[in-house]
Amino acid sequence: MRSFFCLFLFFILFIACGNQQTQPYPDADLNDETAIADEGGEKDESDIRDEKDDELLGDDLSDQPDQTDNEQSDDILIDDQPDQFDDILPDMDTAPADCQINTDCPFGSRCDTTTSPHECLPMSTCKSDVDCATYEKCAIVDNWKQCQMTIASKQCDSEGNCDFGEVCETIYGLYDICRSVNECATADECLEGELCESNGQYLECVTVCQIDTDCPFGYRCSPASPHNLCLYANECVRDSDCESFNTCEPFGNWMKCTINATGKFCSDDDGCDPSEYCDLLIGPVGGCKSRDQCHVDADCGDINLVCASNGVYYECVTDEPKDCFVDQQCPNGWACSPDNVCVPPYAGVCPEVEGVWAALVSANILIPQGTIYEFVPENGCTGKILPQDQQIEAGTFSQTVPGQYDLTMALFLSCTGQLTMATIMELTCPSGNATLVKTN
């Protein structure tokens, strides 16, 4: 009997040890489906997928706050979603993932059908007339706005002679004309979700909203009449605005100084990334902070500055006007240079006269005021004169000495031209004189 009892006890212990060995392996990676399957685990594929989804979504989705009003969204710190703001680019508008025609894109951009999938690319080179050169107007072209030559501007003595949103500007020191600073005339010239509204001085595109996330990053939804408006909200611009071991981080829909719990310690800049510096305000040991000077254009605090990357970090730089992004935005036969400037195929042949000229003032009926000409050099500083965007010859020019030319206008009118400034040519003709101004 004693032997039988010992055998029975040994059998129970053997079974218990065997069950312990067949439990799921505590050291195995639960994401490694192959390892579990090879060892005879009991999890099926759906269970494994569910565990992966739980890891990606978090332990409890019900803990996420419900943004239903402005006050709630103001208090949300998105610590659980740090990657949401990692790739923020200044003032980039969300565009469709694919497009077929230009109007599939937000206003101000075109559909690039040379890529797969097609993508929307920015095309507007101006917002208002004052973004353009003298005697150019910011006009709608297709689905964007760009500067175009025009002489049809109203003359003025003061702003009182101009319409709402216009300023009286002196042209070449000769006389004054009205130029518009209005960014829009209707909401059709604005992005989706924007309205064309007066700010008391001129018309601009403003974003209307219900909650903060209706606004671009860096802005909050502020109560206003007749509708809420997005107002600049960043409470800090750069890490240096914050105390030691605090950094300027995304907080809801804008930036705010918060404790940098995951930051790196350092004793000098060599201990930080190239885009960072070492903040040693508290002594020999400090924390790495970002060199970024801005996140959106409004951080720069100057309408003439924009937020742009220098390849290492974001900084405020002068907003250089651009003539073009692609060749199609340039006059016939011209090309868009890497500097975003339209250049003719003859660029550099005769720099002082080549390019586009406009008749600013004319007492000659054969040179109508406002007419635009292109001077095309063919052999040094000798060449032909073409009306704007036409290949029909309207005359010829030939340099006699630097700064002085013999011209034939309207095919038979003989004139002499004298450059009084780099951009002004005084024409002396038998039947009336004229003044040409260079526009490019």
The pLDDT of residue 350 is: 94
Closest by CA to 146, choosing from 154, 136, 155, is 136
Q: Please give the structure tokens belonging to residue 324.
A: 């073009």
What is the residue whose two structure tokens read 């920015």? 122
**End-of-domain residue from the set 274, 302, 318:** 318
Looking at the fold, whether 360 and 431 belong to one and the same domain comes out as yes
Looking at the fold, whether 177 and 260 belong to one and the same domain comes out as no
Looking at the fold, whether 101 and 203 belong to one and the same domain comes out as yes
The pLDDT of residue 75 is: 37
Looking at the fold, whether 109 and 200 belong to one and the same domain comes out as yes
Distance set, CA 353 to CA 174, 204, 323 (Å): 21, 38, 20
Q: Work out the pLDDT band at 198, boundaries 50, 70, 90.
A: confident
Whether 128 maps to a domain, the answer reads yes
Q: Work out the pLDDT band at 71, boundaries 50, 70, 90.
A: very low
pLDDT of 391 above 80:
no
Whether 132 maps to a domain, the answer reads yes
The pLDDT of residue 77 is: 34
Handedness of CA 51, 55, 57, 63 (dihedral sign): positive
Separation of alpha carbons 39 and 55, rounded Å:
23
Classify 112 in phi/psi space as left (phi over 0), alpha (psi -120 to 50) or beta: beta
Whether 174 maps to a domain, the answer reads yes
Lowest mean pLDDT among 28-37, 212-221, 346-355: 28-37
Are the C-beta atoms of 215 and 209 separated by less than 8 Å? yes
Whether 191 maps to a domain, the answer reads yes
Name the DSSP letter for residue 136. E
- Domain of 281? 239-318
Name the average pLDDT for the chain: 76
Separation of alpha carbons 146 and 135, rounded Å:
13
Q: Work out the pLDDT band at 151, boundaries 50, 70, 90.
A: low
Are the C-beta atoms of 385 and 375 separated by less than 8 Å? yes
Cβ-based neighbours of 160, under 8 Å, separated by 6 or more: none
Instruction: Give the mean pLDDT of 92-100.
Output: 59
Q: What is the CATH number of the domain that holds 389?
A: 2.40.128
Whether 8 maps to a domain, the answer reads no
Whether 289 maps to a domain, the answer reads yes
Looking at the fold, whether 117 and 173 belong to one and the same domain comes out as yes
pLDDT of 188 above 60:
yes
Provide, rounded to the nearest whole percent, the portion of the chain with pLDDT above 70: 75
pLDDT of 247 above 70:
yes
Whether 355 maps to a domain, the answer reads yes
Looking at the fold, whether 352 and 405 belong to one and the same domain comes out as yes
pLDDT of 15 above 90:
no
Looking at the fold, whether 349 and 307 belong to one and the same domain comes out as no
Sheet with 286-290, strands from edge to edge, namely 265-266, 286-290, 276-279
Domains: count for the chain:
3
Distance set, CA 49 to CA 36, 38, 39, 44, 58 (Å): 13, 17, 18, 9, 14
Whether 377 maps to a domain, the answer reads yes
Looking at the fold, whether 186 and 275 belong to one and the same domain comes out as no
Classify 370 in phi/psi space as left (phi over 0), alpha (psi -120 to 50) or beta: left
pLDDT per residue over 277-309, tens digit each?
Answer: 888 766 677 788 888 999 888 899 887 788 988
Residue type at 93 in one-letter notation: D
